[in-house]
Structure 1
Amino acid sequence: MTTSTTPATWRPEAFTAAVGDGVVEMARDHRGAVERGPARKQAGNAVLELVGGRAIRPVNVRVGGFYRAPAPEDLRALDLTVERT
């Protein structure tokens, strides 16, 4: 038996009508916020890489904290990256 992940009532045109065109539409009124999004995503990835060992599915995380603390000079460099966003 196979199951579909798409509900029978799913209609993309109804979703687009309810939500709008997403980023394109938002950029018309909030261009700065849209442009800051990718920079903030990169800064968040940098934080996770430093603390967790990698940006996606970090390996340095454990219950109650981390296996290894970042070096102070790495934290200072990261601070500058995050402040720019």
Structure 2
Amino acid sequence: MTAQPKTLLTIITEWVLENSLVDDFKRLGVIGYTISEARGLGTHGLRTGNWRKDGNIRVDIVADSDQCARIVDQLRADYDRDYGLLMYSCPVDLHG
């Protein structure tokens, strides 16, 4: 089995953006993503996971590096000023 080099893009942001992000992903050609609840402490303060009040989500996308860069650029332009938004990426080998 040959591994395909891809990029894992992880986005941590406020839960209120979930529906908007899903729309953005469709428009940007994302074919798959995983969204899960995220809790922790960071520069935007403590996120306790009280889902309706102050929860965060974590979004993972595996795609080629160019597509991940386009996603990051678009999300920065649309949300970075007004919402807590942390994005990071790393190379991964996709098997299967």
Same fold (TM over 0.5): no
**Which structure is higher in strand share?**
2
> TM-score, structure 1 length as denominator?
0.22
> TM-score, structure 2 length as denominator?
0.21
**Which structure is higher in helix share?**
1
**Greater C-alpha Rg:** 1
Q: Which structure has the higher relative contact order (CA within 8 Å, separation 6+)?
A: 2
